[in-house]
Amino acid sequence: MNILRLSVVSVFIGIACGIAALAFYNMLKYGTFFFLGEFAGYYPPSPGFEGNINWISPENPFRILFVLVLGGIFAGLIVYKFAPEAEGHGTDAAIRAFHRENGYVRRRIPIVKMIASTLTISSGGSAGREGPIAHIGSGVGSAIADLFRLSVEERRIALAVGIGAGVGSIFKAPLGGALLSAEILYKKDFEKEALIPAIIASVVGYTLFGYIMGFSPVFRVEEKYSLNLLHLPLFLILGVASACVGVLYVRAFYTTFEFFRRLRLPKFIKPAIGSLLVGVIVVVLFYTAPKEISLGALSMGYGFIQLAIDNRLAIEALLALVFLKILFTSLTIGSGGSGGVFAPGLFIGAMLGGFLGKLFNILFPDIVTSSDISAFVIVGMMSLFGGVSKAPIAVLVMIAEMTKSYELLFPAMVSIVASYLLTGEETIYREQVSTRLNSPAHVKEYFLELLKVPKVLHAMRREFIVLNPKDSLRKAVLGMKQGLTSLPVFNYGKLIGYVKLSDITRVNDLNAEVSRILRTDIPKVSIDEPLLNAIEKMDKLGEDVLFVFDKEKFVGVLVRSDILKLKFYEEVLEQ
């Protein structure tokens, strides 16, 4: 792998991902204004220094129901007509492409994912832009890798770099995005080769996106946090609560996903059914609950996260929105709608943190003041999604960049570690593998590394059939068992050659003598050579069997299939 070449390619990936992030961001912005605003009469609050936290509730909630179903229908039609792999939250598809598909993503994916996700989210579907931009970025990275004719190994890295550049650009979190590209692929490991190229691409993409859209953070935080050591046990409680709610989020999401997968209906209809159920719940709550509860869990919900940071949501609304967001996201994306699970995860964590912050303020007013509540909202985002994404470091840094709340890194570490440990193996990204050792993308390199340790002696066979030139080919065939496709031929106690099964199949008469197809160019290997050398010889010679010598003495045969047996390695490691 050429790191210098990848670094140059990463500049182009960063430019392309920055442009894609700009396009997707503006499609979502104007799509939401048109579908939810102009069509349904609902103008949700928006976050940040340039956002508008004064929002307008619709007069008729049935218009929201209609828009939701319409968005689900069209998103389903587009996805299942042009790219079925673009369904769901997208990040899993990108992770799967890295591990199992040689880093290849179909060229149409970025366009299809962008359009389908815009329809889902801007019509009110509970989903985020992280999953789509990760999938879009992975497609960009894969395409640019092919344009520069990179190897399969380099294309995988380019795909991971695209994930980080896309996410880092649209969330204005370049370092967090770069770390995400290396961390999101595994539950307990890093793709370290991706980190430097990802930093380059993420910085380039962020610079391009920020130059057009501004460099202000996603969320506005007026109250700066001052460390209070008495808060640390409370942040630990928040971490424990985040783990519990995070596990609920993961299980609810995948239970809903499995339900819709087993539902015997055309796939393109399922997102509309999920959206219909969300719409019905919204209509019922519209007439029975406060408006922030009935409408707050729709779309990405970043404006309501801003309201929580500003301490403008009631404690009962915060608690209700935790569970409504889990339900709405499960129905929207679990049914096959196109959108990410990152933003809903942040929303759930923010509402949970806001709820506990207010509760602590009520119980311990001398320790937790009203100005401290925003800190619990932000740490809630970090700890909940850091736990269920199995990317705690990336999420920790990313949320700090999105809020410019770097002073919260220390207390957030207490919360996020608790959440990460207590969620165990639960993850919202099921295509993640535990470590590089478990990834099909790294099987070859680990296998070859392992072959450097054992010698030919450990794997060779000492018991096999020996032929002489007068034996029949029928006897040779009967002697070839369990992967042994070549047999040695002796004459007066001396090895003079060998016969191959592939040669025998070309002879019609099995009663013919072995001497008819005898090969004398014996493929040899020393008993003391590493198995890696033996494999390389097999590949070079096109042989599956090598004849083992101890100096000048023939002592056995080495069979390729024996080298691949897991039991053999267990025996070697025990020695």
pLDDT tens digits along 198-225: 999 999 999 999 999 999 999 999 888 8
Distance separating alpha carbons of residues 460 and 63, to the nearest angstrom: 74
Cβ neighbours for 402, distance < 8 A, ≥ 6 positions apart: 171, 172, 173, 176, 217, 218, 219
**Pairing between strand 494-500 and 486-491?**
antiparallel
95-99, 236-240, 475-479, 562-566 — which one is most confidently predicted on average? Answer: 236-240
Lowest-pLDDT range, 248-257, 417-426, 448-457?
448-457
pLDDT at 444: 65
What is the identity of the amino acid at 257?
A: F
Q: Which helix (H) or strand (E) holds 23?
A: helix 3-32
Taking residues 1-5, what's their average pLDDT? 77
Share of the chain above pLDDT 90, in %: 69
With residue 526 as reference, give the H or E element that holds it.
Answer: strand 524-526
List the domains of the chain with CATH numbers: 3-429 (1.10.3080.10), 452-574 (3.10.580.10)
Using the predicted structure, report yes or no on whether residue 320 has a pLDDT greater than 70: yes
Residue 446 pLDDT: 63
Q: Are 318 and 308 spatial neighbours (Cβ–Cβ below 8 Å)?
A: yes
| pLDDT value of residue 1 | 63
Average pLDDT rounded to a whole number, residues 27-39: 94
More confident of the two residues 484 and 30: 30
Query: In this model, does residue 37 exceed pLDDT 50?
Result: yes
Tell me what the mean pLDDT of segment 184-202 comes to.
93
User: Which range among 59-73, 136-150, 554-568 shows the weakest confidence by mean pLDDT?
Assistant: 554-568
What's residue 52's pLDDT?
79
Spacing of C-alpha 292 from chain mean position:
32
Gap between the Cα atoms of 190 and 391, Å rounded: 10
Q: Sign of the CA dihedral 305, 308, 310, 312?
A: positive
- CB contact at 8 A, 514 and 473: yes
265's tokens: 């209906």
Check pLDDT > 50 for residue 190. Answer: yes
At residue 575 the predicted structure's pLDDT band, cuts being 50, 70 and 90, is: very low
Which distant-in-sequence residues (6+ apart) come within 8 Å of 393 by Cβ? 179, 183
Closest listed residue to residue 286, CA positions, set 299, 274, 295: 295
pLDDT band at residue 572 under the 50/70/90 scheme: very low
Residue partners of 151: CB distance under 8 A and separation at least 6:
1
pLDDT for residue 272 = 95
Look at residue 453 in the predicted model and tell me its pLDDT.
61
Specify the higher pLDDT residue, 150 or 440. Answer: 150
DSSP string computed for 245-271: HHHHHHHHHHHHHHHHHHS-S-GGGHH
Paired tokens of 116: 């389908």
Task: Determine the Cα–Cα distance for residues 326 and 253; give it in Å rounded to an integer.
Answer: 7
List strand residue ranges (DSSP E) for 58-213, in order: none
Mean pLDDT computed over every residue of the chain = 90
CA dist 110 to 79, 116, 148, 201, Å? 11, 10, 19, 17
pLDDT of residue 574: 46
CA nearest neighbour of 573 among 453, 448, 462: 453
Q: What value, to the nearest 5°, has the Cα angle with vertex 85 and ends 80 and 86?
A: 75
Tell me the pTM.
Answer: 0.81
Region 97-119: what's the mean pLDDT?
A: 91
Tokens at 176, concatenated: 């967090």
Residue 566 has pLDDT above 50, yes or no: no
